[in-house]
Amino acid sequence: MRAQLSRGGCSLYPGSEKSRQGLAASFEATLRDRLALAVTKTLVLELAVAGRARLLKGDTPEARFSFFGDCLKDPAFAARLLAQYPVLVRRCIGIASSWEQASRSLLARIAVSGSKLISVFFANEHPGALASVEVSGDVHNRGQATHILSFESGARLVYKPRPMAMERCYYDFVAWLNDRGLDPELKVVRTLDEGAFGWMEFVPVAPCGTHAEINRFFARIGTHLALTSLLGGTDLHSDNVVAHGEHPVPADLETLFHADPSPENLSGATARGWAVLRHSVVRTLMLPEARGFS
């Protein structure tokens, strides 16, 4: 699998052995992160149990923690531990299987879109071989996740394992408004919708440099707030809006035209609350809110 992952990064342009090995390592890192998330609570429990039973060697908490880590590296110890958690083992096997399928799918889709990616995002210049991948956001649907792709040239690109029609249409609308005198203009983000999946221009986080830029940033936030509210958007919290200098950039627009709950399923205060939210910009989640509010 490692060799297949490293070769898969050459779909756009042949890369060096170093970049191929780096690509395979970055894929493996995404698997390690997912497995670590799955087993962490179990290991915390086992660490606490071993500590109370005075099975950990060491004079300090750090030394005892290190001893437990060394125990986990022992195959016999790890096997005995996993034998106590058969459901966890099945879950980890499922995570690894989903990761493999999702990784193969990503590489295959790079090959499918290759020439279009070069045209749409890289001005017909080869970005070099794929050098690394990084998961961005949550994992859904059997290991599928948004990835940030980095190429040998330093260029980056966002892959989304879902239709990109919402983003494409939204930024077509933004371009249409810009052409008709929108002031200040909004940044138009390049997208490529391939049906079941899509690609998006990578927009890095960057600070504003002047007070004038800050003022324009908030003016643009107001415009995006109005547009997304008009289009029934929600879930546009800070994780889904990139602050790119004086340009706020909505990066995840899959919740446009969000459906409201059926009135017959609501009653009392809940019904009144939804009636207010349905006609309020608060529902976009773009505005600041008190911590803990949900």
pTM score, whole prediction: 0.86
pLDDT of residue 5: 58
Is there a contact between 280 and 225 (Cβ–Cβ < 8 Å)?
no
CB atoms within 10 A of CB 47: 17
The per-residue pLDDT for 293 is 46
Please write the tens of the pLDDT for every residue from 8-63.
555 555 567 777 888 999 999 999 999 999 999 999 999 999 999 999 999 999 99
Work out the angle at residue 215's Cα, subtended by the Cα atoms of residues 209 and 219, and round it to the nearest 5 degrees: 130
CA nearest neighbour of 145 among 101, 189, 115 = 101
Spatial separation of the C-alpha atoms in residues 192 and 120, rounded to whole Å: 8
| pLDDT-flagged residues of the chain (< 50) | 293-294
Rounded CA gap, 5 and 11, in Å? 11
pLDDT at 121: 97
In the numeric block, which tokens belong to residue 259? 């459906």
The label of the residue with tokens 């950039």 reads 249
pLDDT at res. 164: 95
